[in-house]
């Protein structure tokens, strides 16, 4: 399996999996995708069903990753998956349980990992992959990432303590919940540097791309990525779409051809892009419903074909903060596929894209394929919607959900009421309610209980450096940190 950049005008696949794992962003600024998606049939799906039932989630992950990874020995890849997905880390042998709420509505639980967010599903695998490949190369890696709330903690907890890995994590100053901030900033490790940027998530993400685009600096300091711009992270997320589909169809006739739809809360389009990949492989997914909050750049695109990057001032600060994003990096991967994998046109659309700019595909024939071929719908939710949904879901089903999952459930109820989808819906949970105590209290009149595992965060010291929106400052911190480490080694 070889990989190409979304901005490669010639479509030349020249990179193997382990190279793009370490490299992250393509040198031309594009994102990597496999040269083609491996196709699965009902026989393969039936095999995966038996594998999940008899051997568990790690075995399923290994089977799926094997289709995309041919430069890691099979036994080693299986061991990597088994170390990543354990009941000890995820609190259950199932790793990803699926709960039936009613006849047509399921909840896929993705937040049982170490940091109580769905990002753990990919980060735990990424940590194992990085450590394995760096050991093979006798090399080191400086991970540079951006977070709107949960990616940072998941990356830090997956990477800390691993040999030859440093983490530099950018977050928007004051934009995360107190729990999210405490969880990230409580880590006292010389290999972990938290940088709070005076701006919004999109500013952090832009800095990461600007620094990574300095190819000399990237090579000299061995920069890598854990954001969903890294294909390996997206690949890890494909696995839970398959697991949720398998579990949601266990009790139906002809389960290996039964179709389901997914409703996915998303801001950067990484989570739902993994669903697009699973559907493109042949997993029986009918519809992918994109759920946004007040920052509705993706909802606007899927409804109208118009994609416009919002300014920092236009990016709303909401009660589902991990989705306070107005420049969705992973949309580039989908648009590349939507345009028939036209790298030159994708580069034209995304290469010079900056704040306030965008593009319009509303009159392009490709826009018709959004729904008819790729199966996308979208919807949006407000703060009032979130509160009402959190309260209603607890009253009706006895389940307390976080605000991002509430966004998805709000849209799911709209889709069901409108008759837009005729298959069962699987709503993907993205975090546990404890991370958003103030909103939960506003919705149901009490704060969620803090699990014992997180009690230490109440009094934990914070380790964070506040900086301006300046990629040169970030470079300076990286150089100083790595130099100090070398001097002390």
Active site residues: 119
Q: Compute the C-alpha angle 323/296/286, nearest 5°.
A: 85
Joined together, the tokens standing for residue 423 give 């298959």
CB 38 within 8 A of CB 67: yes
CB 343 within 8 A of CB 5: yes
Would you list the DSSP string of 5-42? Answer: ETT-TT----B-HHHHHHH-S-TTS--EEESSPPP--H
How many whole angstroms separate alpha carbon 416 and alpha carbon 103? 12
How many whole angstroms separate alpha carbon 151 and alpha carbon 123? 8
How many whole angstroms separate alpha carbon 223 and alpha carbon 23? 7
Strands lying side by side in the sheet with 285-292: 98-102, 105-108, 425-428, 260-265, 285-292, 376-380
CB 152 within 8 A of CB 204: no
CB 410 within 8 A of CB 385: yes
Give the relative orientation of helices 437-444 and 383-397 as an angle to the nearest 10 degrees: 70
């Amino acid at each position: 399996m070889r990989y190409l950049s979304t901005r490669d005008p010639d479509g030349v696949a020249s990179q193997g999996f382990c190279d793009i794992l370490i490299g992250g962003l393509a040198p031309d600024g594009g994102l990597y995708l496999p040269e083609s998606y491996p196709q699965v049939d009902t026989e393969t799906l039936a095999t995966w069903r038996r594998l999940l039932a008899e051997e568990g989630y790690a075995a399923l992950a290994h089977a799926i990753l094997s289709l995309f990874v041919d430069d890691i020995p099979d036994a080693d890849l299986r061991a990597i998956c088994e170390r990543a997905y354990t009941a000890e880390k995820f609190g259950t042998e199932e790793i990803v349980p699926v709960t039936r709420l009613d006849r047509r509505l399921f909840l896929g639980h993705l937040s049982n990992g170490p940091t109580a967010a769905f990002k753990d599903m990919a980060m735990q695998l990424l940590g194992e992959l990085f450590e394995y490949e760096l050991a093979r190369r006798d090399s080191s890696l400086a991970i540079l990432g951006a977070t709107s709330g949960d990616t940072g903690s998941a990356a830090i907890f997956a990477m800390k303590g691993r040999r030859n890995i440093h983490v530099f994590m950018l977050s928007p100053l004051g934009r995360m919940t107190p729990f999210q901030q405490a969880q990230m900033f409580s880590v006292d490790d010389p290999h972990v540097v938290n940088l709070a940027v005076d701006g919004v998530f999109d500013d952090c993400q832009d800095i990461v791309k600007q620094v990574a685009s300095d190819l000399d600096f990237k090579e000299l300091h061995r920069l890598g990525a854990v954001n969903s711009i890294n294909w390996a992270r997206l690949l890890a997320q494909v696995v839970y779409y398959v697991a949720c589909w398998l579990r949601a169809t266990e009790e139906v006739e002809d389960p290996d051809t039964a179709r389901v739809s997914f409703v996915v809360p998303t801001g950067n389009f990484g989570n739902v892009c993994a669903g697009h990949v699973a559907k493109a492989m042949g997993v029986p997914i009918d519809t992918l419903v994109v759920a946004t909050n007040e920052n509705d750049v993706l909802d606007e695109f899927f409804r109208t074909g118009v994609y416009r990057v919002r300014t920092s001032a236009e990016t709303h600060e909401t009660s589902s903060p991990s989705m306070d994003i107005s420049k969705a990096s992973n949309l580039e991967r989908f648009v590349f596929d939507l345009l028939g994998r036209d790298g030159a046109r994708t580069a034209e659309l995304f290469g010079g894209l900056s704040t306030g700019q965008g593009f319009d595909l509303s009159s392009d024939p490709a826009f018709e394929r959004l729904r008819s071929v790729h199966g996308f719908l979208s919807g949006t939710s407000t703060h009032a919607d979130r509160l009402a949904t959190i309260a209603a879901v607890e009253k009706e089903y006895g389940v307390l959900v976080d605000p991002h999952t509430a966004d998805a459930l709000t849209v799911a109820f709209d889709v069901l009421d409108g008759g837009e989808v005729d298959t069962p819906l699987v709503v993907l949970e993205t975090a546990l309610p404890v991370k958003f105590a103030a909103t939960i209290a506003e919705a149901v009149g009490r704060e969620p209980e803090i699990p014992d595992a997180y009690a230490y965060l109440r009094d934990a010291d914070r380790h964070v450096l506040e900086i301006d929106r300046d990629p040169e400052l970030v470079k300076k911190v990286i150089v100083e940190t790595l130099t100090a480490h070398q001097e002390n080694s």
